[in-house]
Amino acid sequence: MALNPPLRDWPGRRVWVVGASSGIGAALARELLGRGARVAVSARNAAALAALGAELQIALDVRDAHALRDAATRIRRDFGGVDLVVYCAGTYRAMRAGGFDLARALEHDDVNYRGALHLLDAVLPLLLEQGAGHLSLVSSVAGWRGLPQALAYAPTKAALIRLAEVLYLDLRPRGVGVSVVNPGFVDTPLTAGNDFAMPALLGPRQAADAMIRGWEHGRFDIHFPKRFTLWLRVLRMLPDRAWFGAVRRFTGL
């Protein structure tokens, strides 16, 4: 049973992708444009946004709440509303306790989580006024349970998952759909620096296709690739002792 109204018939749908300059966000914008959607894209890199050829290109930093409010106002004016808002902005650097870096940890919080709060401040009034639309937050399977080298990253992604759950409870009765996207490993500039094997690695376009299928089926938790994420879903239910032992055994960390 679908938890959200399915998003289909993409021609003419109004979509705002925040974090669209590279990786999953850029691939998603291209795929939706190819399906006929009206797409607004935002990120810091104006040149990368221009290369996408989207109808609206709004360069901004998600750490700037005022910039997101201004962008939402422009989208309301030019599109007349919005059908799908996707928060895909994120940063990632591997970190362990022995190399804790406060500045980088706070940067993860500012971009991965607080930026999503800035987006909520900008778009919730519009979505609630419409009584329709869909909000999707891109998290990660790293938010499901603790993993090595994710000291700065995983807590912010876990926060996004909880945020999406609470938003669903609040917004779905008011006509607004909510989903959380939990990818496994995707080949992006952020993961390019990993010095460990990344099982079931996907390309950005494959990730974008999986996200779109999830919205088309009305899913709340959109996770992929299933050959990897289904195993993690089972393993995350293990008792703590078993989970910690399994992680150490499989990662060697």
- pLDDT attached to residue 248: 83
In 3D, which of 171, 168, 170, 149 has the Cα closest to residue 160? 168
Both tokens assigned to 248? 């150490």
| Domains observed in the chain | 14-251 (3.40.50.720)
- pLDDT attached to residue 251: 74
- pLDDT attached to residue 30: 96
The 3-state secondary structure of the chain, one letter per residue: CCCCCCCCCCCCCEEEEECCCCHHHHHHHHHHHHCCCEEEEEECCHHHHHHHCCCEEEECCCCCHHHHHHHHHHHHHHHCCCCEEEECCCCCCCECHHHCCHHHHHHHHHHHHHHHHHHHHHHHHHHHHHCCCEEEEECCHHHCCCCCCECCHHHHHHHHHHHHHHHHHHHHHHCCEEEEEEECCECCCCCCCCCCCCCCCECHHHHHHHHHHHHHCCCCEEEECHHHHHHHHHHCCCCHHHHHHHHHHHHCC
Please give the average pLDDT of every successive group of 10 residues along the chain, which has 253 residues.
93 97 94 97 97 97 98 97 97 93 97 98 98 97 88 96 98 98 79 62 87 97 89 87 84 70
CA distance 187 to 109: 22
Burial class of residue 190 (count of CB atoms within 10 Å of its CB; 0-12, 13-18, 19+): middle
**87: annotated active-site residue:** no
Q: Which of 87, 92, 153, 168 is catalytic?
A: 153
- pLDDT attached to residue 243: 83
pTM of the model: 0.93
